[in-house]
């Protein structure tokens, strides 16, 4: 699949979401947009691309963007970031925030919610150490359909077993609606909101911990740089940023730097500390 309609589609997707679609990804475009074309009553994906180029309504463009995004996620994905959260990041923050007794966590690009619910489990499991603290977990994604799944908090057998120990499954999930529903305690801790990373972080406030994992891999260097610099500005000076295991800031930005010996954990660099904090 090539030609002006395809090229226009690649530009459209990149502008709307940052996702880079190249000519080599034609197979992906075909398979992901096939269902959208069918719902639109169009004979095929080529016809959908032509409609988009002729000027489609925003809602249809958004459905195509959602279809092109990869929503893969699972509980305690990659394990190490959550181990690091428990063994190092949270103990330091708890010591440093004894007077404010607040913690703010942002899961950017949270997909179907497994990441913020994993964070909520970890925080709950701290028990008395943060009893009475004000804990906020903001979980955002650009895709409203995937956020609806996240808010519902219902996972099928495969999803609930992926990354969760039997103890955690029993403690935090109950059978419901043919799946497993996350406990109200965890649900109340997480606020889900639609947010496009290309739109910056204004209005979100400052966070102690940010997860921005397995999304930057889909962007070009310029968008990665802009997003990482904005994310860095939204971090407390002693805050922590977790990126995906396949993601790096090398050659992208100096706003954050990796923590020696800990894969995926980043801190603000000296030159990017918030002056007012």
Ligand X SMILES: C[S@@+](CC[C@H](N)C(=O)[O-])C[C@H]1O[C@@H](n2cnc3c(N)ncnc32)[C@H](O)[C@@H]1O
Catalytic residue set: 32, 141
118 binds ligand X (CB under 6 A): no
77 binds ligand X (CB under 6 A): yes
Q: Least Å distance between CB 159 and ligand X?
A: 12
Question: Out of 5, 13, 17, 139, which residue is the one contacting ligand X (CB under 6 A)?
Answer: 17
SS (H, E, C) 35-78: HHHHHCCCCCHHHHHHHHHHHCCHHHHHHHHHHHCCCCCCCCCC
Sheet with 102-108, edge to edge strand ranges: 190-194, 134-141, 102-108, 207-212, 235-243, 262-268, 256-259
Query: Is 246:219 a contact under the CB 8 Å cutoff?
Result: no
- Pick between residue 172 and residue 211 the one whose CB is nearest to ligand X: 211
What mask of x and - would describe binding to ligand X in positions 229 to 248, judged by CB under 6 A? Answer: ---------------x----
What gap in Å lies between CA 117 and CA 15, rounded to an integer?
Answer: 30
142 binds ligand X (CB under 6 A): yes
Q: What is the CA radius of gyration of the chain?
A: 20
Stretch that binds ligand X, among 6-14, 68-76, 152-160, 256-264 (CB under 6 A): 68-76
- Pick between residue 111 and residue 130 the one whose CB is nearest to ligand X: 111
Phi, psi angles (nearest 5°) of residue 240: -125, 145
- Pick between residue 63 and residue 97 the one whose CB is nearest to ligand X: 63
Structure tokens at 7: 């090229």
115 binds ligand X (CB under 6 A): yes
Stretch that binds ligand X, among 80-88, 108-116, 121-129, 157-165 (CB under 6 A): 108-116
Stretch that binds ligand X, among 23-31, 54-62, 137-145, 158-166 (CB under 6 A): 137-145
Structure tokens at 177: 């609606």
Query: Is 94:122 a contact under the CB 8 Å cutoff?
Result: no
Question: Out of 84, 143, 201, 253, which residue is the one contacting ligand X (CB under 6 A)?
Answer: 143
Stretch that binds ligand X, among 6-14, 29-37, 56-64, 66-74 (CB under 6 A): 66-74
64 binds ligand X (CB under 6 A): no
Name residue, tokens 């940052």.
18
Q: Least Å distance between CB 76 and ligand X?
A: 10
Burial class of residue 178 in the structure, from the number of CB atoms within 10 Å of its CB (0-12 exposed, 13-18 middle, 19+ buried): exposed
Burial class of residue 264 in the structure, from the number of CB atoms within 10 Å of its CB (0-12 exposed, 13-18 middle, 19+ buried): buried
- Pick between residue 38 and residue 193 the one whose CB is nearest to ligand X: 193
120 binds ligand X (CB under 6 A): no
Residues 181-220 that bind ligand X (CB under 6 A): 196-198, 213-215
Q: Least Å distance between CB 199 and ligand X?
A: 8
What gap in Å lies between CA 45 and CA 59, rounded to an integer?
Answer: 17
User: Site residues (CB under 6 A) for ligand X?
Assistant: 17-19, 69-73, 77, 109-111, 115, 141-143, 146, 196-198, 213-215, 244
């Amino acid at each position: 699949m090539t030609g002006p309609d395809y090229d226009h589609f690649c530009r459209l997707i990149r502008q709307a979401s940052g996702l880079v679609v190249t000519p080599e990804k034609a197979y992906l475009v075909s398979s992901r947009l096939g269902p959208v074309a069918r719902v639109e009553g169009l004979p095929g994906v080529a016809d959908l691309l032509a409609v988009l180029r002729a000027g489609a309504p925003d809602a249809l463009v958004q459905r195509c963007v959602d279809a092109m995004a990869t929503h893969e996620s699972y509980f305690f994905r990659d394990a190490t970031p959550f181990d690091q959260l428990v063994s190092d990041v949270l103990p330091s923050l708890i010591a440093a925030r004894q007077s404010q007794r607040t913690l703010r966590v942002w899961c950017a690009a949270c997909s179907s919610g497994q990441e913020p619910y994993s964070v909520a489990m970890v925080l709950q499991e701290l028990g008395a150490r943060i009893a009475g603290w004000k804990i906020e977990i903001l979980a955002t994604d650009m895709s409203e359909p995937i956020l609806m799944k996240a808010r519902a908090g219902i996972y099928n057998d495969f999803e609930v077993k992926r990354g969760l120990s039997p103890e955690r499954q029993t403690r935090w999930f109950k059978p419901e609606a043919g799946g497993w529903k996350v406990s109200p305690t965890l649900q109340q801790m997480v606020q889900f909101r639609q947010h496009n990373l290309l739109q910056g972080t204004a209005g979100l406030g400052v966070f102690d911990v940010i997860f921005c994992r397995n999304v930057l891999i889909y962007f070009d260097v310029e968008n990665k740089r802009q997003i990482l610099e904005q994310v860095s500005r939204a971090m407390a000076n002693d805050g922590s940023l977790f990126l995906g295991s396949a993601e790096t800031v090398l050659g992208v930005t100096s706003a954050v730097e990796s923590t020696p010996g800990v894969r995926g954990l980043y801190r603000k660099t000296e030159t990017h500390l918030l002056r007012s904090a």
